Structures are given as C-alpha cells and as structure tokens.
C-alpha cells in the first residue's frame, strides 16, 4: 500500500496549494487584527493539515517545516504569543519557504531538511518562547471530518479491500512512558495497514504531549474485531474504540442532508457524497472543446447540404442543433473558472510591495466570483500583476506626501470584476496622484516617440495611448518594481492576444483607473461574416454595435479622413478592403455602402463590400509564426471547408490609425 502513495502526489500538491492560500489570507487578516480568532484557527489548521498530508506522503522536509510553523501558531492560538510585526514577517517568510519547498518537490525531488537552516532555528526560538503554562490545553480536539486528500485515498483503496477506521486508544491512568506505548501501537499496526492521521500528531506522541488517549485514522484490510484484539495486546492499553469512517470531506460534513431520501442507506449516501466534485486535467477539457468545435462545423455543413429537404430531415437537424448547443454550453461551463483563483494571490503581493516602497495601502477586491474561461484565466495573471505594482509604485504617494495634499495617509487600491454583456470588465483603480499628461508628453518627446508639434495636437486619450508604446516609462529611477522599459506595452499585447482591450482614465491628484475588457471565452463565438472584394472575413459579433447602409453622398471629410455623421456623432470610417491590401468593389456616385459600426478601444465604421450573415464559428490558432499578425485574431473553418480569417477589431483600428499618422507625417 505504501508504494501506491506515489499516485497521490498530484492530489497532495493540489490540496497543499489551497492550504497555502489559506495561510496567506489568514496571516494577512492577523496582521490587521492579531486577535481575530477565526483567522488564528484557520492558519493553524492549514499548517496542521499540510503537515499531516506531508507525513503521510513521506516528505520529511515539508513535515519538519510545517511542524515548526504549527508550533509557533499553537503558541499564538493558546494566547502565549501575540502576532507582532516581527512575528508576522517571520510567519510570512516561513510560508514563502514552504511554497518554495513544495514547488521544488513537485518538480523533482524534495530538498533536504538542512536546506531550511535559514528558517527552522528562528521558528524554533519563537516556538520555545514563553512555554505554555500548566493547565492550558494545546492539543487539538479530535477532528471528526476527513480532508479531501484522506477521502480520496480511502475511496481509491476501497476496491482493493481496504476499510478506514477511527481507532481511539485509552491508556491506563497509571501508565508510565506513554510515548513507548504509542510506539508499540504503531509497531503492531505495521504490515496490517496504513496510519493516515494521528491525533495529536506523531511528534507530540513521541514527546508525550498528550493525555491518557490518542486517536489514529487507520486504513486496513483487518476487521474491527481483529484490530481491537491486536491493539488490546499492547500493555497498559486499557480500552480500544473503533469506529468506521463515513466517507465525506470536511465541507460535506458541514452540509445538512437536503432530502430525507439521502439517508436511505450508507452505501448510497457514500457514493453520492464522493462524486460531488472531480479534478480534471485542463488538457482533457481542451480536447473535449476541440471535439465540440468540430461538431459545430459539421452541423453547419449539414444544414447547408440539407437545406430545403423534407420536414423529417429538418426536424432531425433541429434536434442535432439542440444537442450540439447543449453539449457546447456544458463544456463551456465546465471550462469557466472564478477569478478568485487569480485574485487570491494579490493581497499578499500588494502587502509586500507596499512595505518595500514605504507606502500605506488598503487593498480591496470585489467580484472575485466572476467567471472566465480557463484559457483566459491562465493568461491574465501577469498583466494584473503589472497593473497592481504600477498602482502602488506610480499611483499611491508616500504617507507624508498624501497628508500634505490633504489626503488620508493610507492609499486605496481596488481590484474589481463584473460582467458587461458578453465580456468581463476587470478594473484596477487607485486614489493616488493620477497621470501627469505633461510629464508623459515630455518623456515621449525625450525618447523621440513624438515631435513637439505633434504633442500639441494630442488629445487626453491619445496622450494616455503613449503609455502603451514599447519601452515607455516615466519612472525617475530603475528599481525592482519599475523603470526597466518592460511596461504597459507588454500588458496591452497580452490583453489584445486574448481578444480584449484596455482603457485608461485619470484625474490629476485623485487617481487612475485601468479598465480591461475580456471575452468570456476564446473557443466558440458568434461572428458576422463580411465580404471585401473576393475575400470573406469574420468579425466577432460582440464588437459589432450596428450595421448601416450609407450613401457615398453621406460621407464627409474631417482632417483628410472619411467620416459618417451618425445620429449627431462623427464616426471615422475605415475602408477595410484597402487597409488589408485586397480588392474592393467600385462604388458609383450616390451608391449604397455597407458600414459595420464597431467598438474596440475606439468607435469606428468599417466600410465593406457586402454582408454574408451571422455564423457560429470555432476559433483556430494561426500558430506560432503567424500569431502576431496585426489585425488578425485567428482563423475559422466554414461549413463548406473554406478557411476564413477572424479580424481583431482593436488591431484593425490600430492599423488604420498608424496609416493615418504616416500620411500626416508625409504631408
């Protein structure tokens, strides 16, 4: 059975990551309120659980580190130690080291215990400080719930004939050398099964830090009677209690039965509880999504081939459409992940950065339950890291400066997310000094990005756009945080590669807001098919505001550019065929022109030669060599087998803007 534990490595590291997050969140709470009992219990249990799992897996270094961390947290829990700034820093350092050791162990082999010489002695010093007075109970009460890790091990062992039991051993009141008796109990169990958990932990049993009883979670093929007879044979064991384990996780244990029928019989209830959630490799979901995409393409082709057929064929096609749509929705929902998975790591980062820069920052997160496609979630983390670091470093002023300006010494940074139509809006806001437009223009002139004459003609939005130019930075000095020329251009590139856009608004002295709009999913979308000459293109429908049919006489010229007056608003026009280097249809004076009004970072009208119609399309990547073609987001395969390019609205408008800039410079 011991050799089989290698199969549980993946489960162990997934569980450990969740408990690491609990440690970080709990310590952040304790730093603000050292008396927060819920947070104290949370961090203690998280360290205790990781230690127990690590010991089960045989990871000695992880066990040693979490054991010492648990000792310090036990002192805090018992009221012997208070979370001072010094202790808080040590606990955060210990959690960081734990994360490092877990990462190394997951990638290769566990480092030796000697590699912890930078942290273990200091933890030991605090653990030994102010020993707990006599009479204070430090042993965790016997837990009745299983961790998800334990439940998984037990569930997978059951088909092999194993059963799990909570075994409580009561020693005689006059027993001496209790640790020896505990050791003998473990020796008796050798070869009979596995001890998944000891309460109190093994280290405490060895040091006799327990009363007259202790409890074990045992996985064995032995019957309860045989197990009881085996352990009663140990001297000074007065009594043994054995209770079968109900297979449910701690979260499920707190959930009351929803219906009386769930109480029908143990096996039925156990089976129901053990299949509430399943961990699925993202690659399997990707493969399933690809198959759904192929199904959508095939369905579209069938609709084209069988259009106008008999009523029975039409009914069958409708049924196929319903099934394909339902399957698509189910897979899309399975891929959706709450942003909390990304957002949860930022409070610790902002806290550390604020301390490093001497800022006082209150960080608020809103809308972390908002969901995005897993492929977007995996990519959005780095841009948000940069924007948050930017907010703390460039945005929030030092406390003394804020007070001189009549502000609170503590600055505020807010990270929020919400749904906005078919998009998710993620905003990073601060109440700092805002963006100094004159400083931005001066830096852009200094770097040769614009001329002094061009600077005078730029609007506020155009000035903000300079921030996203490669190599641009207003940092006065190079630090680990900013000023290295790797900045908002990287953020913009990443967001645009995800089919999103980013906007900036700012008020001098009051703060700055970066708003990111991202599509809910990158797999299957609704698109408008358009014609430019002999070419067909797909335009994501989420970027289309409306379609207008204008006359050539309706077009006006503003600063050398065609525009359309639409309900009192001037909309710049882009001749899509000319921009993309293709053929365009000749237009008669007074003839009709189809105009697709789109909104990306800006609003504009795309002049096209014709409209094909709306289609559901599957986005295909163009591959590494064609991934960065401006204005192209990918490709799709139509039902008739034709390959059509998908346009990136922001990229197209950016190309048009660059083309206009070159014409202005040339003139």
| Structural domains in the chain (count) | 5
For CA atoms 36, 39, 41, 44, give the dihedral sign.
Answer: negative
SS3 368: coil
What single-letter DSSP state applies at residue 83?
-
Asked whether the predicted pLDDT for residue 64 surpasses 80, the reply is yes
Q: Does the annotation count 423 as an active-site position?
A: no
415 and 438: one domain? yes
Q: What is the dihedral of CA 454, 460, 466, 468, to 10 degrees?
A: -160
Which CATH number belongs to the domain containing residue 575 in this structure?
Answer: 2.40.50.180
502 and 607: one domain? no
Report the length, in residues, of the chain: 667
Backbone φ and ψ for 527, nearest 5 degrees, come out as -135, 155
66 and 177: one domain? no
Element (H, E) at 379: helix 374-390
315 and 463: one domain? no
Residue 246 neighbours by CB under 8 Å, 6+ apart? 266, 270
- Tell whether 623 is covered by a domain: yes
Distance CA 657, CA 431 (A): 32
Beta strands 193-199; 213-220: pairing state? antiparallel
| Residue of 19, 103, 88 whose CA lies nearest to 352 | 88
Single residue among 216, 239, 273 that ends a domain in this structure:
273
For 225-248, how does the pLDDT look when each residue is reduced to its tens digit (9 = 90+)? 999 989 988 888 888 999 888 765
| Tokens describing residue 190 | 């050798």
| Averaged pLDDT, 439-448 | 84
Backbone φ and ψ for 432, nearest 5 degrees, come out as -85, -145
Answer whether 634's CB lies under 8 Å from 640's CB: no
C-alpha 418, offset from chain centre = 15
**What pLDDT is stored for residue 29 in this prediction?**
92
Radius of gyration of the chain (CA): 32
Answer whether 47's CB lies under 8 Å from 66's CB: yes
Of residues 194, 390, 496, 542, which has the active-site annotation?
390
- Tell whether 135 is covered by a domain: no
SS3 464: helix
Element (H, E) at 318: helix 311-335
Name which residue leads in pLDDT, 191 or 363. Answer: 363
Q: pTM for the complete prediction?
A: 0.61
Distance CA 91, CA 59 (A): 21
Asked whether the predicted pLDDT for residue 255 surpasses 50, the reply is no
Single residue among 472, 497, 519 that ends a domain in this structure:
519
For 154-184, how does the pLDDT look when each residue is reduced to its tens digit (9 = 90+)? 888 888 888 999 999 998 888 878 888 888 8
445 and 529: one domain? no
Confidence of residue 7 (pLDDT cuts 50, 70, 90): low
Backbone φ and ψ for 583, nearest 5 degrees, come out as -80, 150
| Residue of 552, 646, 557, 540 whose CA lies nearest to 599 | 540
DSSP E strands in 544-642: the ranges are 544-551, 555-558, 561-566, 569-575, 592-599, 603-607, 610-618, 632-637
69 and 83: one domain? yes
SS3 364: strand
622 and 590: one domain? yes
Of residues 15, 22, 70, 542, which has the active-site annotation?
70
Confidence of residue 196 (pLDDT cuts 50, 70, 90): confident
- Tell whether 143 is covered by a domain: no
| Residue of 45, 103, 116 whose CA lies nearest to 74 | 45
475 and 558: one domain? no
- Tell whether 493 is covered by a domain: yes
Domain containing 88: what range?
A: 2-128
Starting at the earlier edge strand, list the strands of the sheet with 213-220.
Answer: 193-199, 213-220, 163-171, 237-244
514 and 379: one domain? yes
DSSP secondary structure letters along 380-393: HHHHHHHHHHHIII
- Tell whether 375 is covered by a domain: yes
Single residue among 224, 251, 273 that ends a domain in this structure:
273
Of residues 19, 48, 394, 412, which has the active-site annotation?
48
| Tokens describing residue 541 | 């429908």
Which CATH number belongs to the domain containing residue 47 in this structure?
Answer: 1.20.120.160
- Tell whether 139 is covered by a domain: no
Asked whether the predicted pLDDT for residue 590 surpasses 80, the reply is no
What single-letter DSSP state applies at residue 223?
-
492 and 639: one domain? no
Which CATH number belongs to the domain containing residue 247 in this structure?
Answer: 3.30.70.1110
Q: Does the annotation count 67 as an active-site position?
A: no
Average pLDDT, the chain: 80
**What pLDDT is stored for residue 259 in this prediction?**
34
Cα angle vertex 324, ends 322, 327, to 5°?
105
Q: Does the annotation count 356 as an active-site position?
A: no
**What pLDDT is stored for residue 398 in this prediction?**
94
Distance CA 186, CA 180 (A): 10
379 and 260: one domain? no
Q: Which residue has the tokens 């808080």?
A: 88
Which CATH number belongs to the domain containing residue 488 in this structure?
Answer: 3.30.565.10
For 612-647, how does the pLDDT look when each residue is reduced to its tens digit (9 = 90+)? 888 878 777 676 666 667 778 788 887 677 888 888
Distance CA 611, CA 138 (A): 74
- Tell whether 187 is covered by a domain: yes
Asked whether the predicted pLDDT for residue 111 surpasses 70, the reply is yes
State which of 178-182, 448-452, 498-502 shows the largest mean pLDDT: 178-182
- Tell whether 142 is covered by a domain: no
| Residue of 498, 576, 583, 593 whose CA lies nearest to 537 | 576
548 and 653: one domain? yes
């Amino acid at each position: 059975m011991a050799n089989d534990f290698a199969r549980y490595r993946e489960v162990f590291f997934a569980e450990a990551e969740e408990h690491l997050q609990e440690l970080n969140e709990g310590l952040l709470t304790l730093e603000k309120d050292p008396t927060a009992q819920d947070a104290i219990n949370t961090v203690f249990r998280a360290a205790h659980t990781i230690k127990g799992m690590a010991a089960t897996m045989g990871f000695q270094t992880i066990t040693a580190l979490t054991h010492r961390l648990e000792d310090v947290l036990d002192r805090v829990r018992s009221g012997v130690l208070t979370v001072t700034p010094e202790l808080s820093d040590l606990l955060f350092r210990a959690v960081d080291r734990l994360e490092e050791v877990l990462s190394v162990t997951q990638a290769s082999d566990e480092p030796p215990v000697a590699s912890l010489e930078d942290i273990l002695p200091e933890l030991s010093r605090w653990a030994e400080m102010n020993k707990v007075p006599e009479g204070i109970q430090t042993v965790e009460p016997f837990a009745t719930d299983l961790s998800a890790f334990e439940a998984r091990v037990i569930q997978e062992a059951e088909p092999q004939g194993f059963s799990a039991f909570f075994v409580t051993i009561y020693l005689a009141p006059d027993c001496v050398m209790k640790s020896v008796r505990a050791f003998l109990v473990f020796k008796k169990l050798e070869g009979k099964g596995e001890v998944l958990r000891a309460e109190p932990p093994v280290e405490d049993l060895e040091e006799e830090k327990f009363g007259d009883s202790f409890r074990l979670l045992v996985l064995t093929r032995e019957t309860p009677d045989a197990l009881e007879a085996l352990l009663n044979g140990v001297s000074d064991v007065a009594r043994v209690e054995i209770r079968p384990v109900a297979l449910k996780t701690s979260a499920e244990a707190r959930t009351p039965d929803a219906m009386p029928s769930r109480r029908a019989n143990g096996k039925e209830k156990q089976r129901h509880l053990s299949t509430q959630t399943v961990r699925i490799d993202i690659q399997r979901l990707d493969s399933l999504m690809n198959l759904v995409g192929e199904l959508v393409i095939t369905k579209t082709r069938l609709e084209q081939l069988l259009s106008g057929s008999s009523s029975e064929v039409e009914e069958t096609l409708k049924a196929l459409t319903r099934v394909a749509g339902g399957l698509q929705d189910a897979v899309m929902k399975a891929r959706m992940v709450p942003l909390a998975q990304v957002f949860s790591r930022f409070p610790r980062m902002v806290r550390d950065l604020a301390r490093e820069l001497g800022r006082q920052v209150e960080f608020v997160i809103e809308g972390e339950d908002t969901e995005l496609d897993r492929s977007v979630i995996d990519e959005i983390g780095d841009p948000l890291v940069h924007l948050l670091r930017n907010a703390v470093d460039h945005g929030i002023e030092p406390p003394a400066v804020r007070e001189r300006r009549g502000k609170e010494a503590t600055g505020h940074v807010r990270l929020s997310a919400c749904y906005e139509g078919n998009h998710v809006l993620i905003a990073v806001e601060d109440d700092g000094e805002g963006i100094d437009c004159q400083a931005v223009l001066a830096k852009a002139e200094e770097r040769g990005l614009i001329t002094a004459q061009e600077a005078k003609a730029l609007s506020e939005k155009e000035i903000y756009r300079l921030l996203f130019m490669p190599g641009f930075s207003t940092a006065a000095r190079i630090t680990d945080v900013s000023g290295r020329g790797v900045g908002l251009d990287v953020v913009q590139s990443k967001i645009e590669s995800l089919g999103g856009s980013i906007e900036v608004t700012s008020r001098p002295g009051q703060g700055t807001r970066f708003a990111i709009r991202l599509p809910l999913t990158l797999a299957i979308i609704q698109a408008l098919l358009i014609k430019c000459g002999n070419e067909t293109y797909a335009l994501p429908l989420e970027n289309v505001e409306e379609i207008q049919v204008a006359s050539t006489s309706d077009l006006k010229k503003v600063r050398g550019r065609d525009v359309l007056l639409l309900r009192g608003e001037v909309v710049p026009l882009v001749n899509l065929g000319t921009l993309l280097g293709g053929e365009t249809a000749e237009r008669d004076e007074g003839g009709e022109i189809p105009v697709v009004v789109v909104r990306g970072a800006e609003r504009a009208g795309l002049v096209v030669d014709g409209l094909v119609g709306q289609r559901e399309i599957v986005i295909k990547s163009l591959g590494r060599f064609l991934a960065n073609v401006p204005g192209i987001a990918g490709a799709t395969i139509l039902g008739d087998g034709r390959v059509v390019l998908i346009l990136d609205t922001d990229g197209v408008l950016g190309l048009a803007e660059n083309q206009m800039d070159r014409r202005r410079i040339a003139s």
